[in-house]
Amino acid sequence: MNIQQLEYVLAVKELGNFSAAADKCNITQSTLSTMIGKLEDQIGIQIFDRKTKPVSITKEGEVLICQMKIVSFEMEQFKETVQLLKGDFVGHVSIGVIPTVAPYLLPGFLNEFAHQFPKMEFTVSEMTTGQIIDSLKRRDLDLGILATPINVNEISEIPLYNESFLLFDCTDVSYPKDIVSISEINFDNLWLMEEGHCLSAQVLNICDFKIGKSSTHNFNFGAGSIDSLIRFVKRNKGLTLLPELATLEFSAEEKASLFQIQAPVPVRSIGIVTHEHFVKRDLLKKMQEQIQLKIKLTLQQNKSESVIFPMI
């Protein structure tokens, strides 16, 4: 048994047939099939049922493949550790970012950061918090950026920044000043992100408000993005709470509907999460430092233009 045989098995698992797996591994189909067959003979367990189309995995094979993924991942981690000890930043890093952070943080940060590490390849995907956690545990993802704390076993958390919430109120209600308290807000026409987005739960927690408690519309809508949420709030003269970074590019008209919330100001904490055995700690440190610097400069620049967005 060798690591190459494990990689052949995992390729078949990923692609669903021997021909595509052989192409990925740059070998002939007969060689790949022979090598996997030798492995099955050595361990005395059939991993694939070759009689089915597409090829299927036996129950015993499913158990073994789970272990093979761990072995393969640990081998990659070992190789990366060797490179890091040599002072090289090489390899691939997969990043999952929640949709309520990605559009406002990544454009001003990621491209510049990636250029500092020309030997590394970065893959970024928008994912929900649950998807990020599950992928980290399966080792399908290297790191995530999401709202913390999550307090999950096997997952390490690295703080990035706190982001205050602002009231975006497009109703006909007028407030005596630009700072309002939670108790002053009428939540009859509150709009939220759809379930599965942590932002929705955070807003409900801040408002101590239950969906359906009171509503001026006879349909339920959950926005899939903050952009959609903003559009529906404006169109239906509703209100919502928005994270600060999502409001930095608002028009003057939109800013007129933004209000600070009276202390204690509600905030959400954003952080980096990784599996506890993630080895690229130097990369994480650099990412943490540069994101924190970028956020600080962004908020300072905005503060000079308007008092709506104070430093946290």
DSSP per residue, 129-167: HHHHHHHHHHTS-SEEEEEE----TTEEEEEEEEEEEEE
Say if residues 173 and 128 touch (Cβ distance below 8 Å).
Answer: no
Q: What is the pLDDT of residues 86-96, one digit of tens each?
A: 666 777 899 99
Pseudo-torsion of CA 268, 270, 275, 276, nearest 10°? -80
pLDDT in tens, 123-147: 999 999 999 999 998 888 999 999 9
Prediction pTM value: 0.68
As assigned by CATH, the class of the 91-161+269-305 domain is alpha beta
Select the more confidently predicted residue: 309 or 122. 122
CB of 32 within 8 A of CB of 21? yes
Q: How far apart are CA 212 and CA 73, in angstroms?
A: 46
Instruction: State residue 305's pLDDT score.
Output: 38
- Distance separating the N- and C-terminal Cα atoms of the chain: 56
Averaged pLDDT score across all residues of the chain: 83
Dist. CA 297–CA 113, nearest whole Å: 16
Residue 216 has pLDDT above 70, yes or no: no
Instruction: Report yes or no: 147 and 198 within 8 Å, Cβ to Cβ.
Output: yes
Please state which of the ranges 10-19, 149-158, 209-218, 256-265 shows the lowest mean pLDDT: 209-218
Domain boundaries, the chain: 3-85, 91-161+269-305, 163-267
Q: Do domains 91-161+269-305 and 163-267 have the same CATH topology?
A: yes
- Percent with pLDDT over 90 in the chain: 43
Question: Is the pLDDT score of 273 beyond 60?
Answer: yes
Q: Which fold has domain 163-267?
A: D-Maltodextrin-Binding Protein; domain 2 (3.40.190)
Nearest to 241 by CA among 282, 207, 214, 215: 207
Fold assignment, 3-85 = Arc Repressor Mutant, subunit A (1.10.10)
CA–CA separation, 87 vs 287, rounded Å? 17
